[in-house]
Structure 1
Amino acid sequence: MGKSFLERLGDGPILCDGAMGTLLYSKGIFINRCYDELNLSQPELIGGIHADYVANGAEILETNTFGANSFRLARHGCQEKLADINRAGVELVRKAIKNNQVYAAGAVGPLGIRIEPLGKTSRDEARDAFRDQIRVLVDSGVDLLILETFGYLGELHQAILAARDVDPKIPVVAQVTIDEDGNCLDGSSPEHYGARLTEWGADVIGCNCSVGPVAMLDALERLRAATPKPLSAQPNAGIPRSVEGRNIYLCSPEYMASYARKFVGVGVTLVGGCCGTTPDHIRSMKSALRVGEARTTSFKVKTEVEEHAVEPTPLGQRSRVGARIASGEFLTLVEIVPPKGVNAEKEVEGARYLMSVGVDAINIPDSPRASARMSNQALCLLTQQQVGIETVLHYTCRDRNVLGIQSDLLGASAIGIRNLICITGDPPKMGNYPDATAVFDVDAIGLVNIVSNLNRGLDIGGNTIGTATQFTIAVGANPGAANLDEEIRRFEYKVEAGAEYAVTQPVFDLALLEEFLKRIEHCRVPVVAGIWPLSSARNAEFMRDELNISIPDAIYNRMARTTNADAARAEGVAVAREMLQAVRPMVQGTQLSAPFGRYSAAADVLEVLGSSDSACA
């Protein structure tokens, strides 16, 4: 070809191609298909699109391999074809290039899963997956790699490392996807991701997808001041609009062409398009770049001053709950469920009563069993304001993406909530709304990592948030889990992520609790045992058979022998008192449930702590 890609980049702006998926969809390929597999099953279709882009002036062709990694291919049962799909992707680009002075770029997208610290896939596993794909692309003869549409810097870092593992000299274009404010999906600002990607050795740094030309131009102006590296820009053809049920991109080729020159004016040297762009857009952009012999502008790079994480506030100073955990004092929590409406008078009065009998804090769950109730954060605030007792916010990952989670937690900190129990949460289809959808961007392990970062003054992108939060971090634990090995493994991850104590599912079987405590001895944090006063034999059946909580036959038979509702409730309290006495020497606290809002039952159970404490003194 003559000049290498990086040499050509130094001569002035170079034009990349546009969207692949947009054109495939327009040609009748449904979005549930594996677009990467079309390299094998419909090569003429893919090759024709490549040829159209070359004919309209593209100087870089990206392989149709954006999702051709093992994780994404597995969703379509195509993981065994990984090498064939990537190899065919390069061959189709090479065939379309023929004798033209066009560079073949291996397209590599995110894995489609969360990696640590936000997910259970390790960094090493992610790096291995990227390496497997990149090795095939490089061995097949690409001139450069375009790592594109990454929303999380940690994952992009692993892709860059994998590229360097395969070939330290292969040119790497590293592109993030951004929001309207120019920030990465993990919250990283242009100043932050510009500095990080420079540090990690990307040859070209830029943005693609998600936003149109205007927002991308704003981000690139800031990015230019953060890195001396060449910049790239591949925006969508505007924000898609729904027209008769289809997403339509409305930016004309002429409009995109005008912004191609504006990108070059702020220092961009690699220009192209993403979703919604077509060969017509690329032709217009090519003409605009020729007119006036467009040249990039030089900018002085500002060196980012890295703000380091702060030391978290000592646990004992964050809250009264934290102080009891830190000092080894026995902690008592009682659960109060939010009301199914706007009137929380019963719940607030229940909290007032429980405080009067010596309960340390109120734990407020988040829409238990995925039902629609008052926000537990709102009830926490009402309870703390009107009663003065501390609350523990039960926070789940079900309904929020990672940015929503971060916003919620910052808000909770601002209004004085200091205690969290971080859990994954029930899918909404388990509740009263079978058509409701869930998000589950992260699970409890990822959530603990997010909170730990906030306690160190950092957001999920590693950027400073100013004043650090001061949350105590609890997690859930299930001693009776069907797969105890998996439960222990996840517990280890939670502790590693920053969990400071654990609250168990209701305990009725002491042998299971003893075994669990023995198994976590190597990663032990204080454990608060869940205690549930059963209200009837039917309640016991429900917990045993539908919630899969282990209830020994002896306890079930005791409940079954009761003759009326009052006797059943009294027996349930008696069983709970016995359980609390038995677990007291093993654990650092208890969380009591109050079935059906019977807060007096919880207080009756707690009375046993007086004699238990004196016996242990």
Structure 2
Amino acid sequence: MGLLKDLESKILIADGAMGTLLYSYGTDCCFEQLNLSHPEQIQSIHQAYVQAGAHVIQTNTYSANYIKLQRYGLEEQVKELNSAAVSLAKKAAGGNAYVLGTIGGIRGTGPSSLSLEEIKRSFREQLYCLLLEGVDGILLETFYDLEELEAMLKIARSQTDVPIISQISLQEVGVLNDRTPVNTAIKRLEELGSDVVGLNCRLGPFHMIKTLEEVEIPKHAFLSAYPNASLPSYVDGKFQFEGDAEYFKNSASLFRNQGIRLLGGCCGTTPAHIEAFAKELNGLPPVTEKNVRQRPEPIAVASSGQKPQISLPEILQERRSVIVELDPPRKLDTTRFFEGAKALKEAGADAITLADNSLASPRICNTSLSSLAKAQTGVQPIVHLACRDRNIIGLQSHLMGLHTLGLHDILAITGDPAKVGDFPGASSVYDVTSIELIKMIKQFNEGVSLSGKDLGEKTQFTVGAAFNPNVKALDRAVQRAEKKIEAGADYFISQPVYSEEKLLQFHEAVKDLPVPVYVGIMPLTSSRNADFLHYEVPGIKLSEEVRNRMAELKDDPLAAAREGLAISKSLIDAATELFNGIYLITPFMRYELTVELTQYAYDIAPQNVRRIQNV
């Protein structure tokens, strides 16, 4: 008859997880590569689902696309892997089940640096491979990003008349990551030509059914559901799902009551779960009408009652601004740090910035010191937040903590890799890039977490971003800066500059940016200090003239320190003609140097705000 014709009058049972079974058998690799290396194993799993009562099975091609296969060096085998997968599924089906060509979402639950155009190219290649093999339909599954799924659906619908099943995945009941209600998303997919629309993965039967209670039965499509068996546990270094097949049997009628026509399983499900669905729903007609639970109107999310101090971009609209980096100590004695914070506040610094384990070396937590410094001295802290040390969970928790402490200024940075620091064997996390972190912070300002959950109130973060002017291709640095602005960056802080020529080049490169820039200046303390910065610290380059000036005084520490101050003052003279923002970096907790430079930066003319640098 045909898949869609059968769905008009029947509830069809689909298969369950492929990867879960392969993982349980001890196979932890690229599962799609097994289509070629262990075809008998793949075919036997398909057969087990057909024997369990599945009317519909899917090919082992969830990640058989160019982008995902690159992780294993298999990107040139897209055609071979997809073709083999369809052949194995057809042999297992033996004419007793429909075969769907599966294509999985790429963007996943977290931020992604992949452009939609890259994803489209990868999708088209896999789609054509599956269609050439004569699948009975295309299954688009596990899409957390609605934009991505809509784009893939449009391509697929324009290329084929075979049935298309489109399934979204959720982290919260009833809404997608971007807070789109599920019912709205399903209607949009129906309008774009999807023949079957539904949910899969992440949620177990309980929460998936609760979500489906808010979903209307489509007028021109059918509903599908592929729940997870349970949440996974982690035992002896392996993930395990403990969902009970009897529980699936008891939930089968509840899925039917929500109008589901295609019912299968996702992570953790086995032939036993599918058999439970099949036995419970065998011969029962589908439900065509149901009462829909209305999703409550979203409550306007208010900002916190805590009002942050005036932001740095606002300060720069009124006058010159000086901020100073005062890094947390490596040791537990904080006396010098708090003396420095107090002295810099009294010198007129608009804020102090606190690095986040710079050069991948452990220091006292910058959040703790920021909170104490603000309370004890009244200084405005800017908390550096590095992507290196925290996964997506930790970053979001950290942001919630900063908001709770009333710390509203953040510098979003990538962070030096662990291998350059004190513990080169430590892990560098990098779940997100600095650009993606900026987006996340700005989403918090809308009262929404990365997963789409309501935070209860809006944060009020001002986000700074890093800019390195000491690169050969400044135009590329500007292009990256523009991406950061697009993500939501409010201003930039630069690495230190050590020549007037570089200042002019830097200004020329960034003068058209729509946000202000703080130009970095760090006083040198000795010739050895100058050489270390130039040769060993990533992102910092000194001019030959500056190194020679410091080298001439290598045997006179006091004179070298005075010369370092003189160089910095000369750079401040030049910088204030071009930039409204000065960013001073304190070397070795010698805050007396940056206190003097702070006062100097405010004392020199002109004091009025200059419009050369956009603010």
TM beyond 0.5: yes
> Is 2:49 the counterpart of 1:56?
no
Q: Does 1:473 align with 2:463?
A: yes
Supply the distance in 1 between the matched residues of 2:438 and 2:350 (Cα, whole angstroms): 23
Query: Which residue of structure 2 aligns with residue 322 of structure 1?
Result: 313
Q: Does 1:335 align with 2:325?
A: yes
3-state secondary structure, aligned to 1:338: coil
Give the aligned partner of residue 67 of structure 2.
Answer: 71
In structure 1, the partner of 2:101 is 106
SS at match of 1:323: helix
Query: Could you say what secondary structure the match of 1:281 adopts?
Result: helix
1:14 shift after superposition: 2.1
Partner of 1:547: 537
Distance 2:429 2:475 in 1: 26
Structure 1 residue 364 and structure 2 residue 354: aligned? yes
Question: Separation in 2 of the partners of 1:546 and 1:374?
Answer: 23
Distance 1:429 1:274 in 2: 38
RMSD between superposed Cα atoms in Å: 3.2
Q: Which residue of 1 aligns with 2:586?
A: 594
Match of 1:91 in 2: 87
Contact residue 424 and residue 444 of structure 1 kept, 8 A: yes
With 350-359 and 222-231 compared, the bigger mean Cα shift is at 222-231
The alignment of Structure 1 onto Structure 2 pairs a total of residues equal to: 599
Would you say the 8 A contact 1:365–1:394 is kept in 2? yes
Equivalent residue for 2:121, pick from 128, 133, 150: 128
* TM-score w.r.t. length of structure 1: 0.87
Shift of 1:552: 1.2
What's the CA shift string for 1:492-537, capped at 9, x where partnerless? 2112222221110011133334323323344342111111111222
In structure 2, do the counterparts of structure 1 residues 244 and 475 end up closer, same or farther at CA, with 3 Å as the change threshold?
closer
Contact 1:506 1:532 in 2 (8 A): yes
Segment of structure 1 superposing worse, 238-247 or 295-304:
295-304
**Cα-to-partner distance string for 1:108-143 (whole Å, 9 max, x where unaligned):** 22326799xx44322232233223322332343233
> 1:514-529 maps to which residues of 2 (within 5 A)?
514-529=504-519
Name the CA distance, whole Å, in 2 between partners of 1:128 and 1:77.
18
Q: Judge conservation of contact 1:206–1:220 (CA < 8 Å) in 2.
A: no
CA contact (8 A) 2:173 2:210 kept: no
Q: State whether residues 108 and 144 of structure 2, in contact with CA within 8 Å, keep that contact through their aligned partners in structure 1.
A: no
> Which amino acid is the alignment partner of residue 546 of structure 1?
E
Q: Which residue of 557, 571, 575 corresponds with 2:563?
A: 571
> Aligned with 1:420: secondary structure?
strand
Q: Is the 8 A contact 1:131 1:165 kept in 2?
A: no
Contact 1:163 1:170 in 2 (8 A): no
Aligned residue in 2 for 1:147: 140
In structure 2, the CA distance between the partners of 1:385 and 1:607, relative to structure 1 (3 Å rule), is closer
Aligned residue type for 1:50: H
Aligned partner letter, 1:289: L
- Structure 1 residue corresponding to 2:188, chosen from 199, 202, 214: 199
Q: For the Cα contact (< 8 Å) 2:136–2:162, is it kept in 1?
A: no
- 1:19 aligns with one of 17, 20, 25: 17
CA distance in 1, matches of 2:162, 2:284: 34
**Which residue of structure 2 aligns with residue 38 of structure 1?**
34
How far apart are the structure 1 equivalents of 2:579 and 2:162?
56
For the residues of structure 2 that align with 1:317 and 1:413, how far apart are their CA atoms?
10
Indicate the percent of aligned positions where both proteins have the same amino acid: 33
Partner of 1:609: 601
Q: Residues 453-494 of structure 1: CA distance to partner in whole angstroms, max 9, x if unpaired?
A: 333454446676564333222210001125544322211211
Q: Secondary structure at the match of 1:597?
A: coil
Answer with 242-251 or 217-226: which moved more: 242-251
| Structure 2 letter corresponding to 1:532 | M
Give ranges in structure 2 of 5+ residues lacking alignment. Answer: 610-615
**Partners of 2:507 and 2:13 in 1: CA distance:** 61
- 2:274 paired with 1:282: yes
Aligned 8 A contact 1:394 1:421 in 2: yes
**TM-score for both structures, normalised by structure 2:** 0.87
| 1:428 corresponds to which of 418, 427, 434 | 418
Which whole-Å deviations, capped at 9, do the CAs of 1:333-386 have from their partners, x for residues lacking one?
A: 111212346664432332111111111111111121222233322222212222
* Partner in structure 1 of residue 483 of structure 2: 493
Matched-pair contact (CA < 8 Å) for 1:109–1:150: yes
DSSP 3-state at the match of 1:613: coil
Supply the distance in 2 between the matched residues of 1:603 and 1:347 (Cα, whole angstroms). 13
Q: What corresponds to 2:612 in structure 1?
A: none
1:19 Cα deviation from its structure 2 partner:
1.7
Which residues of structure 1 form unaligned runs of 5+? none
